[in-house]
Amino acid sequence: MSLGWRALGNLGTVVERLLQITEDVKVTNRILSAVEIASRCGQAISVDELALMLPFDGQSTSLQVIIQKDPGLSKSLVTEKNLIVQRGFEHLFSERAIRENVSRRYSEIAKTFVSQLKCRSSNVKLMGICGSVAYGSALESDDIDLFLVTEKNRLWLFLLKGLILARALNLKATIGGKKTNFCLSYVADEEHFEDVIKHNRSALFARELLSTRVLIGKNYYNTLLERANWISQLFPKLYSSKLATQQNETAAKSDGRFQTIIKDILDLLVYAAVGNYLSLTALLRNLTYRKQGKMRDLFKAKISKGSCVYTSERYRELEKMYNYMVK
């Protein structure tokens, strides 16, 4: 009888050991994937930033020890001070400060754009910075990507004003001998976006939402995160770190019934005109990229009554990498 219990005890120990090995392999793969993604996106990731991407509460110091002691990690990754890159991307160590400075400058420019756009329209729920500027890895040649969520049936009226303002500010910068290129890369109304966060449970979508630098609508942003608590299963530490204290923001005044009907009709008309224009523009630009052999610059314009979203070939590549990282 005692031999049977001993055998069961040994079996339990073996199972625990196998589970620990499996967990260690998952952590190693996530570290490798996270650093690879950051390196390919032009960022020397810090140990603290990497720790937020992992599914456990490891400290920065223990992460450095893990990387140094694990043969697979030390062979593929390079560390310098508090930064980590994939081998072959060592130039990113010296570029980190430069890219952060560019990102900070572009963030300030984005704040000017957002404040001016807010003055022209109150029908907005959230405005923020996304893309390379949000990640702190922007180059001078990068766009300033903006993420916007509007009230229901106000997307296209708002987007039209945003496109006109972006064109005006880009032209003003060019005349002044500078370069800015605002890109309204993800715009949706609240009904559409709230449906998206329920059903688009991809790791990259979660990462992009968590990386957004919110300029207007922090209350609403926190509400979105609370509704999308599935993200906590993918990036638990990063998710909890983004659930900031609620901000006291003044709610926009609602329109009267007659004004609401008129704006609903106008939004539909603008959608018909501007939506077709943007679809044609996207088609022509993609034809230019194909002629130039810039296949990775090709993108899809997903345009509907409730959204206007641009997704590039690079985005789809990243989506595959993120899915592999969290599996």
Distance CA 221, CA 128 (A): 10
Look at residue 218 and tell me if it is in a domain: yes
Q: What is the mean pLDDT of residues 246-267?
A: 73
Which pTM does this prediction carry? 0.85
Contact 122, 252 (CB under 8 A): yes
Provide the CATH number for the domain around residue 46.
1.10.10
What does DSSP say about strands 182-189 and 144-150: parallel, antiparallel, or unpaired?
parallel
Provide the CATH number for the domain around residue 179.
3.30.460.10
Contact 146, 130 (CB under 8 A): yes
Same domain flag for 263 and 318: yes
Domain boundary among 66, 89, 112: 89
Same domain flag for 216 and 261: yes
Look at residue 242 and tell me if it is in a domain: yes
Same domain flag for 267 and 315: yes
| CB neighbour class for 211 (10 Å; exposed up to 12, middle 13-18, buried from 19) | middle
Same domain flag for 108 and 166: yes
Same domain flag for 133 and 54: no
Q: Count how many domains the chain has.
A: 2
Same domain flag for 52 and 168: no
Same domain flag for 112 and 53: no
Look at residue 94 and tell me if it is in a domain: no
More confident site: 254 or 69: 69
| Percent of the chain residues past pLDDT 70, beyond the cut | 87
In the chain, the amino acid numbered 164 is I
Number of H helices, E strands in the chain: 14, 9
Look at residue 96 and tell me if it is in a domain: no
Same domain flag for 68 and 160: no
pLDDT, averaged across the chain: 86
Same domain flag for 156 and 62: no
> What's the domain range around 231?
102-326
pLDDT at 313: 87
pLDDT at 125: 94
Collect all residues with Cβ–Cβ distance below 8 Å to 184 and sequence separation of at least 6. Answer: 146, 148, 159, 162, 163, 166, 308
The sign of the torsion formed by the CA atoms of 291, 309, 126, 137 equals: negative
- Does 8 score more than 50 pLDDT? no
- Does 190 score more than 60 pLDDT? yes
